[in-house]
Each structure stands twice: as structure tokens, then as C-alpha cells.
Amino acid sequence: MFELTVFAMTVATGFVASGLTGSFYRLVTNKPPSFAVVSDSSIGLLVAVFMLIFAGPLVILRNALRAQVFENRPPLWLLLSAMIAMLWSFLSGELLLSIILTL
């Protein structure tokens, strides 16, 4: 039971980091984060890649929900996308928690 709680808290940490990163990116650039990274400079490209490391689950879930509503994709598509986002969120949450607990 303890392992399931740790897993849930790690996933929640990753989802919160994803939401905060995506919201901050939208606040700064006035456009939603996406996997289409276009930048004129190498620093901008590096910032966009680091942003996507943490905002990836948000982008996956947003795209899956839009596909469900507008393109009428099957519910299995949404479930698989949610599972991929959860795994990505777990990994980014694990990275964040290990950095925080190391400091």
C-alpha cells in the first residue's frame, strides 16, 4: 500500500510540474506549449526542449482531449494517451523529487 501511495504522489508531483511549466510558458509566449518546436536561436531551442521535458504530459493530454472532442477518436485512444502522460509524469516527478530530496 505504501508503494502505491508513493507512486500516486510522484505522479501528482509530475502533473503539477507539467501544469506549472505549461502555464508559465503560455504566460510568457502567449501560445500553448506544443511539440512543434520552432526557434531562431539555439538558446530558444534549448529552453523549449527543457520546457517540454516537464510540460509533456500537459501537451499529450490536451492533444488527446482535443482529438476526442473534435475528431471523435475512440475512447481507447484517450486511455492510452492518459497512460503515456501518467508514465511521463511519473518520470518527471521522480526527477524533481530526487533533486529536491538531494538538496
pLDDT in tens, 4-37: 999 999 999 999 999 999 999 899 888 888 888 7
pLDDT in tens, 86-103: 999 999 999 999 999 999
Task: Write 92-99 long-range contacts (CB < 8 A, 24+).
Answer: 92/14, 92/17, 92/18, 92/53, 92/54, 92/56, 92/57, 93/9, 93/10, 93/11, 93/12, 93/13, 93/14, 93/15, 93/17, 94/10, 94/14, 96/13, 96/14, 96/17, 97/10, 97/13
Q: Quick one: average pLDDT of 69-85?
A: 92
Domain ranges in the chain are: 2-102
Q: Quick one: average pLDDT of 50-79?
A: 92
pLDDT in tens, 44-61: 888 888 889 999 999 999
